[in-house]
Amino acid sequence: MENTTIVETHSLTKRYGSGVLAVDSVDMSVRRGEVYGFLGPNGAGKTTTLRMLLGLIRPTSGTATVAGHAPGSPVGLARIGSLIESPGFYPYLSGRENLRVVADLASVKQKRVDEVLDIVELSSRAGRKFGTYSTGMKQRLGVAAALLKDPDLLILDEPTNGLDPQGMAEMRKLIKDIGQGDRTVLLSSHLLGEVEAICDRVGVISNGHLVTQSTVQELLGEEGVLVRAQPIEQAQDFLTRMFGAEAISRQDGAIHLKTKPENSADINRQLMNAGISVSELRPFERSLEEVFFKLTGEKQGS
Amino acid sequence: MIATIKFEWRKLRFRPALFVSAGLIAALTALVYFFSWYQALHPSTGDRGLVNIATLYPDQFVNQVIGAGAIGGAIAIVLGAIYAGSEFSWGTLKTMFTQRPGRLTVWAGRLVVFSVWMGIMAAVLFVAGAALSVVVALFQGHAISWPAAVDIAKGFGAIWLIFVAEGAIGLGLGVVIRQSAAALGAGLIYLLAVELIAVRFIDSINNGAYKWIGNLFVGQNAAALTQSFTSPAFGRSLAPAISAEHAVLVLAAYGVGLMIIAAGLLRLRDVT
């Protein structure tokens, strides 16, 4: 049976010489073919974890298997493309020449250079020196370099960093396109909307701990209906009798009801018939932002 | 290994430092020739300003250009520091280490190409010296005759070894300090000041009882190796305290040793 995970870590830990615990016992599992969002605030340990997966940083303890091999193994690296933080290229070479040198090192045929330039839509500006590129062009070239090996696993660390809104939208579309098919994308980000829009599953890291790991839908919770009514206690008793106590919760003066939004009309009618006046009744869905702040213990708007 | 050599060579041949360093060494050779030529034709009183015009003819060009070893060595330190340190400054180390080859293979390929670069520098020095010696001979109406091929090969090998050994100081410092500017500064300060002071101090202790330690310094051995190339045309010279064989061994040990230390650091350290 083929192994369904392409990245697996067990108690992966990195403590720097200064005593700083950057990553603490991370157990992470990325499945083949998915777009996995690695979500966390700045300084949470995302980049350190990704660097450990690529063999750039040695873990203090714990193990990791990436594309079937130990991190940094030449056989494993042959199947991994990566862009870690800002793209590292030679400023005196053109975009195309930069890709050519990387292709040489990766033992990739030179014709692949033009293919990846087309994918990231940089062909027309590939002759310009890298040092003259805008941030967006540099990021695109970084993604192009990551695609050179036509990798099974693509590791992208904050690829929209420093981009303007249009550049971010273009990069997200590009990542979505790249992630279609059998390729696995491991995308780190601190941008919730980005992860929600692109990813199938999410791992949330905070202060070096992997707080949770699940599908975006699981993270957002079941769908439901929000009810505001008067008198609220009477409304809650009535709805508890209708749906059971486990389906009801109170938050900010409203009732959260775990039920399908299609039941809204029936709920409204029954509450009205019971003499309860309904002021608000709408489908309820938690935002990823709300979940994220709850999981990481960070304060919203701080 | 072939992949890393192709990668490094493709980078190097577009690198401005390759052309700048080659141009610089050719220009310095030209300056030495023209100043020496002027001094030979306009001798000042006293021995110090005396230059024998015969030292500027083609049959002496190997002995003449090899004197540029000290300046070339300083340039080699700068190039080594830039070559190793700039990969840290540009953030390209992570790009190199996340492709197919392992870290040591990448470093080995880099060293091969750096050694070729030092060979190019030595070749530029020799070609420039040979060409300038022909110019002098033609102007002076002197017959053109060349040194024996074996002497040219020995001279080329000696200057290449000096460049590689001193370049390895720059390479090692670039890897240790993880940037080029501080590395080349430290390398030049070592070569031009620290080593001279240290050797002078060591030689003065206990009537030169520890002179053998001073004879293990890289600059001393580079100087001894260049001094071993001489001829009667250059006048009387003191017998060097270090033999050419000793100098070759010590310089080779510096080159290999520093490259291995740098390899160890690159292999073991995190790329952050």
Best A60, A104, A152, A157 member to test B by mutation, with max B CBs in 10 Å, is A104
Nearest CA of chain B to the CA of A280: how many Å? 52
Look-up: residue for tokens 């905070």?
A206
Name the residue in chain B with its Cα closest to that of A48. B272
Contacts of B97 in chain A (CB under 8 A): 54-56, 72
Tokens of B167: 């370049």
Cα-based distances in Å from A172 to A89, A142, B131 = 22, 14, 60
pLDDT tens-digit readout, B51-107: 888 889 999 999 889 887 778 889 999 999 999 999 999 999 999 999 989 999 999
Residue B232, chain A, CB below 8 Å: the answer is: no
The predicted structure's pLDDT at residue B237: 66
Q: Please report which confidence band the pLDDT of residue B236 belongs to, taking 50, 70 and 90 as the band edges.
A: low
Nearest to A92 among B16, B105, B271 (CB): B16
- Cβ atoms A53, A71 nearer than 8 A: yes
What's the pLDDT score for residue A141?
94
**Mutate which: A73, A93, A105, A155, vs B, most B CBs within 10 A:** A105
Query: Considering only CA atoms, which of A28, A32, A69 is closest in space to residue A46?
Result: A28
Start-end of H helices in A83-134: 95-105, 111-119
Give the pLDDT confidence score for residue A178 in this predicted structure.
83
Q: Which distant-in-sequence residues (6+ apart) come within 8 Å of A252 by Cβ?
A: none
Return the exposure string of A12-39: e unless at least 16 CB atoms fall within 10 Å of the residue's CB, then b: bbbeeeeeeebbbebebbbebbbbbbbb
Residues of chain A found within 8 Å of residue B112, distances taken between Cβ atoms: none
What is the token pair recorded at B140? 């002076």
Question: Domain total for chain B?
Answer: 1
* Nearest residue in chain B measured CA to CA from A78: B100
**Distance (Å, rounded) from C-alpha A59 to C-alpha A63?**
8
What range defines the domain where residue B62 resides? 2-268
- Cα separation, A278 vs A256, whole angstroms: 14
| Mean pLDDT to the nearest integer, A239-266 | 85
Q: Within 13 A of A248's CA, how many CA atoms are on the CB side?
A: 18
Which residues contact residue B126 at a Cβ distance below 8 angstroms, ignoring those fewer than 6 apart? B61, B62, B65, B152, B155, B156, B159
Question: Residues in chain A, how many?
Answer: 302
Looking at the predicted complex, does its ipTM rise above 0.90? no
| CB contact set of B212 (below 8 Å; sequence gap of 6+) | none
Provide the pLDDT for residue B45: 66
C-alpha distance from A131 to closest chain B C-alpha (Å): 10
A92-128 per-position pLDDT tens digit? 999 999 999 999 999 999 999 999 999 888 999 999 9
Residue A201 and residue A37 in contact, taking contact as beta carbons nearer than 8 Å = yes
List of chain A residues whose C-beta atoms are within 8 Å of the C-beta of residue B272: 51, 56-57
CB contacts < 8 A, A to B, total 85
Which pLDDT score, from 0 to 100, does residue A129 have? 95
pLDDT above 50 for A1 = no
**Average pLDDT over every residue of A166-170:** 84
Domains for chain A: give ranges and CATH numbers: 5-219 (3.40.50.300), 222-285 (3.30.70.980)
- Does the CA dihedral A45-A48-A54-A58 come out positive or negative? negative
CA atoms A99, A101, A106, A107: torsion sign: positive
Note whether B173 and B188 are within 8 A (CB): no
CB within 8 Å: A51 and B4: no
Interchain CB contact of B102 with A (< 8 Å): yes
Do the Cβ atoms of B10 and A104 come within 8 Å? yes
With CB atoms and an 8 Å threshold, state whether B100 touches A104.
no
Distance from CA of A108 to the nearest CA of B (A): 10
Residue B12 CA to residue A173 CA, distance in Å, equals 36
User: Which ranges of chain B would DSSP assign to H, the alpha helix?
Assistant: 2-12, 16-41, 61-65, 69-89, 93-97, 103-140, 149-177, 180-189, 195-204, 211-214, 218-227, 244-268
Select the more confidently predicted residue: A142 or A161.
Answer: A142
